[in-house]
């Protein structure tokens, strides 16, 4: 399959200079890779997803990779626009940013929205409270123009925080959160940003897709209204949702070395860009750590990490492996597994969260038109 819109005539010139044969049936990327030139080429010609989308209803938002822990991009709110960095979070549904009404320490070192400086702001008397796994916020709701990538959404409802207790948001490199899950879990019944994009015909297709880079590299993005062909050359495995709340799916099992270790009789999972690690019920975490030879705190010998097996997720009849290079996290010379325990009961049983550790292995398509998640193994 040819790579669309990525390599220019400059790439062809590179091939001619190095006399790289473009064999029939092979892409330029494959030919460069065979001759050991791909890495150098990509460094000289970094891929910019936002530069190649000019179709109406298709827009890419670049995201900053912060230490492989969080990914955030820049949006604007109001007229004239006030800029904020936000997590594009598929595990929640509300948009909120700090406001000038906020007296919490967490707001003191972040940009704050000032409604008095926006000619298009509309206030409400409605309050908002959202609790996350690592922090919470409370505030009021308002309406204003929100610009995400190159898409302007008029009269978008959003939260203006008045309180952000604790220190999680104080140390966060981003200002607020833009939720991309379903409206059924939106606090205060607020319409999510992407729902307004769809309702107003601002996206070419009722879906968005996400690429998260590894090792703190640049290039991460969320693409609204399209699927980038560059990232799906391995095909897309489509998984129907089990609930239209989070991006929730059913897993048949999780195996190591061909043996189902946990989730033998199926379990529920959500694909969540706003969670850094792979989260699971505590009893399942214990079994996974034992099977991988880790300590109870998740530490593993750095020397042994290359001998570890894949952790394989069986979903909708397809195997989705996560390699040791993806799930082993090294910090200050200490290696640990990128798994964490939690207890989140649902009507269908306890919940797993397939966070960034999982998502970095796949290009993920969030399809609202068909209520499916699409996963494509990254090369």
- Can you tell me which residue has the tokens 């298009």? 120
Token pair in block for residue 100: 């000038």
Backbone torsions φ then ψ of 257, nearest 5 degrees? 55, 40
Measured CA to CA, the distance from residue 28 to residue 261 in angstroms comes to 41
Measured CA to CA, the distance from residue 206 to residue 235 in angstroms comes to 20
223's CB contacts (< 8 A; 6+ apart) are: 49, 53, 58, 59, 60, 61, 208, 209, 210, 211
Measured CA to CA, the distance from residue 372 to residue 271 in angstroms comes to 11
Angle at 237 (CA atoms; ends 6, 216), nearest 5 degrees: 50
Distances in whole angstroms, Cα of residue 96 to Cα of each of 88, 164, 219, 348: 11, 11, 25, 30
Distances in whole angstroms, Cα of residue 181 to Cα of each of 102, 150, 272, 330: 26, 21, 9, 31
What single-letter DSSP state applies at residue 370? T
**What residues are annotated to the active site?**
89, 272
What single-letter DSSP state applies at residue 255? E
What single-letter DSSP state applies at residue 199? H
Contact 178, 192 (CB under 8 A): no
Residue-level length of the chain: 379
- Other CB atoms within 10 Å distance of the CB of residue 26: 14
- Other CB atoms within 10 Å distance of the CB of residue 276: 21
Strand partners, 282: none
């Amino acid at each position: 399959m040819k790579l669309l819109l990525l390599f220019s005539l400059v790439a062809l010139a590179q091939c001619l200079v190095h006399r790289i044969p473009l064999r029939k049936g092979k892409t330029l990327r494959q030919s460069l890779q065979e001759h050991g030139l791909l890495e150098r080429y990509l460094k000289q010609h970094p891929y910019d997803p936002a530069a190649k989308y000019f179709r109406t209803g298709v827009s890419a938002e670049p995201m900053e990779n912060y230490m492989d822990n969080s990914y955030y991009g820049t949006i604007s709110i109001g007229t004239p626009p006030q800029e904020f960095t936000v997590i594009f979070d598929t595990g929640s549904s509300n948009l909120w940013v700090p406001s000038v009404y906020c007296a919490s320490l967490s707001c003191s070192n972040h940009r704050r929205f000032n409604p008095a400086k926006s000619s298009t702001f509309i206030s409400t008397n409605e309050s908002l409270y959202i609790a996350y796994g690592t922090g919470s916020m409370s505030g009021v709701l308002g309406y204003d123009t929100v610009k995400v990538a190159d898409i302007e959404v008029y009269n978008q409802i959003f939260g203006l925080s008045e309180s952000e207790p604790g220190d999680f948001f104080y140390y966060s490199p981003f200002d607020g959160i833009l939720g991309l899950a379903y409206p059924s879990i939106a606090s205060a019944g607020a319409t999510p940003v992407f729902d307004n994009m769809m309702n107003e015909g601002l996206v070419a297709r009722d879906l968005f897709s996400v690429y998260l880079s590894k090792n703190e590299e640049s290039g991460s993005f969320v693409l609204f209204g399209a699927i980038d062909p560059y990232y799906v050359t391995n095909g897309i495995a489509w998984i129907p949702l089990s609930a239209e709340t989070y991006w929730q799916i059913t897993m048949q099992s999780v195996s190591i070395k061909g043996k189902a270790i946990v989730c033998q009789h199926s379990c529920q999972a959500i694909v969540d860009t706003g969670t850094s690690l792979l989260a699971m019920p505590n009893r399942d975490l214990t079994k996974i750590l034992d099977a991988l030879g880790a300590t109870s705190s998740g530490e593993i010998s750095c020397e042994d990490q290359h001998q570890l097996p894949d952790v394989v997720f069986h979903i909708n009849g397809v195997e989705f492996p996560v390699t040791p290079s993806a799930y082993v996290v090294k910090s200050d010379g200490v290696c640990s597994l990128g798994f964490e325990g939690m207890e989140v009961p649902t009507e269908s049983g306890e919940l797993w969260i397939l966070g960034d550790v999982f998502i970095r292995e796949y290009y993920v398509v969030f399809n609202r038109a068909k209520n499916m998640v699409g996963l494509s193994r990254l090369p």
